[in-house]
Amino acid sequence: MAILLSVFALQIPLSRAAGRCESLLQLSLPSVVITSATVISSGTFSELPSEPASGKTHARLPPYCRVVGVSTPVSKSTIGFQVWLPLQGWSHRLHMVGNGGYGSNIYYAQMSARIRAHDTAVATDTGHRGDTLAFGIDNPEAIVDWGHRAVHETLMAARGVAARFYESPPRWSYFSGCSTGGMQALSEAQRYPADFDGIIAGDPGNNRTGLTLSFLWAFQHNHRSGDDVHEIVPSAKLLLVHKKTLEACDALDGVRDGVINDPRLCHFDVQTLRCAREDNEQCLTSEQIEFFHAMYSGPRDMRNGHSIYPGFPPGSEGVIVDPGQPLPGWSEYWANPDRPREPQRVDLLRYWAFHDGNWDWRQFDWGAAVDAVSARIGPAVDATSPDLAAFRTRGGRLILFMGWEDPVGSSLEAIEYYQQVVEQARGESLEARRAATLAFARLFMVPGMGHCAGGPGATNFSTATRDSTPPISDARHDMAVALQDWVEHGVAPDTLVATRYVDQSQRAIAFQRPLCAYPKSARYVGGDSRQANSFRCVNPLSSGGNP
């Protein structure tokens, strides 16, 4: 292996690299066909016409071998994947990047970041093409592929490809993803604990059935019976409540910076905005107040009042992640943007759960139907088991992160899941179970972050998840490097430094904040509020907020 690595370090001629790369076309792996293997030496990669970001170019790439293949582990399963293999200076790491939504698109920006770090970069199309849920109609195997099998099978293929190309298997395997990628991450830790040494699960949509029902809950509560057109709460009222909530709770961490540091400490009451007379832009009607209460409480089982999915915390109502976004906060996901007269993702219920194109979501039974949805699709798509014993025993390390202002999935869902993991840990006391969990899994809550990235807070802290590039790629500023340090050197991350830029493209730093391992969060202790070292990690819910 030392001879091989030294040859690669000497930058072998591209003609020789091309032959080594092309030989992968003859690679024999179970249920796998390699369809192309090409050396990319131009330093750039342009996304293909069939990709959502067609024409987007990724630059500053070292020479690499780009492998495209298909895995067919079962009938009706067609899992597309890509493996990018750097030609020089291989880190001996394989790093797979996750997906988003229900789309088949590959995040090439994250693939490019892994190649720049000299990792073998891996991704999958999750077993289908397109971004609608139609792929699951009468095709349960495609749902299983999307839910969890595509990641596992892609990893198996990628390991074989890397071992053949480098004549040595990867020493470490990592996975990073956000949203659906976060679901994939937790599914791996739960279902396939031997797959990855280190996992990053961001804003995970792991309670997929509960999340889908929360979209339905929001739509039903924001429309009067029989009226699917007119919203009870327009987007402008979301901005109003968000503004008033921020005014009331911004300074709770000791500094006013446009960010609610920990919404659990925010007790702003929307009742204070009740209209004295007629409805206007600066007040809420009784009907609108009821809607906000429904969103803060989350969907409930009407048989017993039990929570189906956590409600949203204050501060997530009207968050603006990007100045150009058309809808603020919750309004991005409370209706289907292509069919605004129906709830977001209702096709999952229509086609996957009830197998009926004429199924009427308006008549949903918030009792027996909840059980039916969970029983029919939960086993394939949910990743909610807190039992991570096998992953922990094997030596796996898990980092979760969640944006406090995520308007898509409730940030409280990540906390509830992590607390369930703590409850499963060994230990006679809560502190012992927390310590046992911190030894292999840590959660970082990100103030002022929307869904996966962006928002008014310091949200740049990872080269491995989308739109979150830090100013420095080291273990203090880059979650991907911090995970590597934890896996490879046993150095667990207590804090990370997150950055907010004045301008995302120019990378001028506006301010930085420490991200603290849960249950701690940052509190201002004095000094320049733009500096991360002016904050201290404390437990905000403990007596006196002691560290």
478 included as an active-site residue: no
Indicate the Cα dihedral angle 109, 324, 231, 372, nearest 10°. 0
Residue whose tokens read 């016409």: 49
Cα(394)–Cα(390) distance, rounded to whole angstroms? 6
Helices 368-381/208-221 angle, 10° precision:
140
406 included as an active-site residue: yes
Q: Which two tokens stand for residue 309?
A: 């999915």
Q: Which two tokens stand for residue 271?
A: 């009742």
HSE, side-chain direction, 13 A CA sphere, residue 101: 15
Largest CA distance in the chain: 82
Which listed residue (406, 410, 485, 521) is catalytic?
406
Cα(417)–Cα(511) distance, rounded to whole angstroms? 30
Query: Which letter does DSSP use for residue 316 in this model?
Result: -
Q: Which amino acid is at 155?
A: L
The DSSP element (H or E) to which 512 belongs, if any, is: strand 508-516
**Is the CB of residue 386 less than 8 Å from the CB of residue 377?**
no
Which listed residue (77, 173, 179, 411) is catalytic?
179
Neighbours of 295 (CB within 10 A): 24
Cα(314)–Cα(405) distance, rounded to whole angstroms? 8
Among residues 406, 441, 203, the alpha carbon closest in space to that of 319 is found at: 406
Phi, psi of 251 (to 5 degrees): -85, 10
119 included as an active-site residue: no
365, exposed or middle or buried, with CB in 10 Å at 0-12, 13-18, 19+? exposed
**Is the CB of residue 542 less than 8 Å from the CB of residue 520?**
no
Altogether, the residues listed in the chain come to a count of: 547
Cα(274)–Cα(287) distance, rounded to whole angstroms? 10
Q: Say how far residue 534 (Cα) sits from the centre of its chain.
A: 29
Strands 198-202 and 397-403, by their bridges, are: parallel
Angle at 390 between CA 388 and CA 394, to 5 degrees: 120
Name the β-bridge partners of 200: 176, 399
Q: Which amino acid is at 154?
A: T
Angle at 532 between CA 530 and CA 538, to 5 degrees: 125
Plot region of 200 (φ>0 → left; ψ -120 to 50 → alpha; else → beta): beta
DSSP-derived 3-state class of residue 422: helix
Cα(331)–Cα(295) distance, rounded to whole angstroms? 12
Which listed residue (223, 451, 468, 478) is catalytic?
451
DSSP-derived 3-state class of residue 159: helix
Neighbours of 40 (CB within 10 A): 17
Q: Report, as residue numbers or ranges, the catalytic residues.
A: 179, 406, 451
